[in-house]
Structure 1
């Protein structure tokens, strides 16, 4: 069974923040101009260069504010609660984390993750089986990277995406074929790294990324951090 982001093993990974800045991805990655940590940006450029001629990476999201992350968690957890009315709080947290990470370990909030797909020679998004951000409920599980009922061309594109991103050190979140990360706690757990490199970013424009030491034990400090991040 896949390890989900709400698994306690993810939160237990130590963080050794390296304070790399957020940088803006170039137009070759699409019009979103997403911001990610510098180390991730370099790896994405290497992956881009490994794709066949006429195919490119199309990044639709990188860094996400803590406020936006909390909003997505609230909205999706409400939908999950409706779909699974008998779920315990722990089960609800796990089910929710199939689609959106808990704030404390969220790769997007750390600038460590991208949501991306493949584009064709004219910039058109290619079919990888489901739209980006299709929930498990909407896609009947088709959003999972290894979903069995994906047609062969879409499966081949997912495999191509996985090959070029894995070769530069990124890891996939298996319930979302489009979500890949580097340097966050989930990445560290899945690769066996001793610590994560990137924690939640507070000051987006600092030369060295300023982060907030999020914990589940200090709600007042977390709320203060949310106000600063917003």
Structure 2
């Protein structure tokens, strides 16, 4: 990841200085803020009472490119049923303190840097090991 953000890589790739970082963060969180490494993030989906996974519009870990941006929690392109399923997460999880990373409907955090930013907490609850 660090090499991809290096200005020398930008020069070779033909991208502007900031573009490699923008492009790579579509696939991998920057090391300095990667929430899964802190134990403060979880990827979730919904299942019916009989264990069948509900239609959430994309697979967990779908990329913006592969999903036509349908992986965004509030993507305008998703249908009503998918929107209702995602809304269940949006309604329930903040009630127990989790926050959503809006480019991934499945990604929810508690206690990490993103959570602290969105909740206004003075500090994180977790840190990298």
Matched, 1:120 2:41: no
Q: Distance in 2 between matches of 1:144 and 1:179?
A: 10
Q: Which runs of 5+ in 2 are unaligned?
A: none
Alignment pair present for 1:197 and 2:129: no
User: 1:1-150 alignment to 2 at 5 Å?
Assistant: 86-150=14-78
The 1-side partners of 2:80 and 2:128 are apart by 38
Taking only aligned residues, the RMSD between alpha carbons, in angstroms, comes to 1.9
Return the offset for 1:122.
1.6
Give the drift of 1:99: 3.4
SS of the aligned residue for 1:180 comes to strand
CA contact (8 A) 1:172 1:180 kept: yes
The residue number in structure 1 matching 2:99 is: 171
Tell me, in whole angstroms, the C-alpha distance in 1 between the residues paired with 2:94 and 2:107.
12
Q: Does 1:185 align with 2:113?
A: yes
- TM-score, length basis structure 2: 0.85
Give structure 1 regions of 4+ aligned residues with deviation exceeding 6 angstroms: none
